[in-house]
Amino acid sequence: MNHVAVVGAGLAGVRSVEALRARGFKGRITLIGEESHRPYDRPPLSKAVLQGDLDSTVVDSDFGSLDVDLRLGVAAKGLHEGTLETTEGELEFDGLIIATGATPIRLRGEGPQHVLRTIDDALTLRELMTSGTKVVIVGAGWIGAEVATAARRAGSEVVVVEAATSPLATALGREVGSRTAAWYAEAGIELRLGTMVGSVDPGGLTMMDGTWIPADVVVTGVGVRPNVAWLAGSGVELNNGIVVDEHLRTSMPGVVAVGDCANWWSRRFGRRLRVEHWDTALHAPETAVATMLGGTAVYDPVPYFWSEQFGRMLQYAGHHDGARLVLRGDPDADAKWAACWLTGDDRLAAILTVDRPRDLVQGRRLVEGGQRLDVDRLRDPATPLRDCT
């Protein structure tokens, strides 16, 4: 193998380049990225950048010492075996790492709507969210909550509209998500649940029931789609992203995929997962590169994610689909609590912590270890999680 191309110059793409060199690959590496900016981290965009604490999140990587041909402002257009079609022409390769991430979903309508995916998005929103500005955010998920936090900090008047009956309903379920609804009121934010947007129009939102919500700024935070349309007709299997095995191999020889665009098989959870989190972009490239270079590494992590919202730190580890919920502590009586999801035989499948970092660390180890737990002890927040086995 003499030439590896990496498509996508985000964190997953950069870590892939670093992993190639760390494993002794001496050949050519070409890294292409659609944005004109040097590779940067995305999690701070909705946190420190949007709140004015940072202006840049450039990834600390020495591309000179890595001897990589970095091509910015170049997008992938298509793929045929051994050849990548780009906006700058064809690029032949021996191995290909796809790390093209995801693209925010936009709502219908002719009015201006902002999303938060790039550094330019974050800097633009930061300029618009000023004192007295009416900001309407569509979606009370992770991004919606973090944008609302930043907008209130800037002094904006904030309304959040959500189609579900609780915040974070898709991510955590209604019972846990409803525990966060009071945080919006405490922050001085109007939260409208069970309301669907009809269209984004000049000056605001037209709701499905015909009501009108005026806005100076509309922010859409209703999710993302894997950025894989350019692979249509390539022969690479697609289904909610790029279908890869537990080694992160695609259906095309010599091609692997990592990050938000990869739908990988998890031995641990016995299902496919596509995880749109920083932790995945950070660690998956090591497995993908090992696979590309002839190794047998398996990618099977406990997914991890964090969010800073309304002065609280939320951390999540695991995967809770099909598991039953057990609350650890009383959210109505204590601001610091956790939600645990258990399998049928009382093993921890996932944990969400609110300002309980020790629970997160110990809980993640329990998900990894698969030990059976004493549920009564688990409910007691005074009992360390490690003592609940």
Residues 118 and 212 in one domain: yes
Inside any domain, residue 324: yes
Inside any domain, residue 297: no
Inside any domain, residue 304: no
Q: How many CB atoms lie within 10 A of CB 358?
A: 11
Residues 246 and 341 in one domain: no
Residues 210 and 275 in one domain: no
CATH number at residue 115: 3.50.50.60
Range of the domain at 112: 106-220
Cα–Cα distance between 284 and 286 in angstroms, integer?
5
Residues 8 and 95 in one domain: yes
Residues 71 and 116 in one domain: no
Cα–Cα distance between 290 and 309 in angstroms, integer?
37
Residues 96 and 123 in one domain: no
Beta bridge partners of 94: none
CATH number at residue 374: 3.30.390.30
Inside any domain, residue 298: no
Please list the pLDDT of the chain residue by residue as tens digits (389 residues): 999 999 999 999 999 999 999 999 999 999 999 999 999 999 999 999 999 999 999 998 888 899 999 999 999 999 998 999 999 999 999 999 999 999 999 999 999 999 999 999 999 999 999 999 999 999 999 999 999 999 999 999 999 999 999 999 999 999 999 999 999 999 999 999 999 999 999 999 999 999 999 999 999 999 999 999 999 999 999 999 999 999 999 999 999 999 999 999 999 999 999 999 999 999 999 999 999 999 999 999 999 999 999 999 999 999 999 999 999 999 999 999 999 999 999 999 999 999 999 999 999 999 999 999 999 999 999 999 999 99
Residues 69 and 116 in one domain: no
Inside any domain, residue 88: yes
Residues 84 and 230 in one domain: yes
- DSSP codes, 140-184: -SHHHHHHHHHHHHTT-EEEEEESSSSTTHHHH-HHHHGGGHHHH
At 288, phi and psi to the nearest 5?
-60, -45
DSSP 323: P
Reported as type and span, the H/E element at residue 204 is strand 204-207
Total domains in the fold of the chain: 3
Inside any domain, residue 300: no
Which of 202, 220, 238 finishes a domain? 220
Residues 232 and 92 in one domain: yes
Which of 220, 239, 254 finishes a domain? 220
Cα dihedral 128, 131, 133, 135 in deg (nearest 10)? 80
Inside any domain, residue 302: no
Which of 171, 186, 220 finishes a domain? 220
Q: Is the dihedral of CA 135, 137, 141, 147 positive or negative?
A: negative
Residues 258 and 361 in one domain: no
Inside any domain, residue 150: yes
Residues 90 and 232 in one domain: yes
Residues 121 and 93 in one domain: no
Global model pTM greater than 0.85: yes
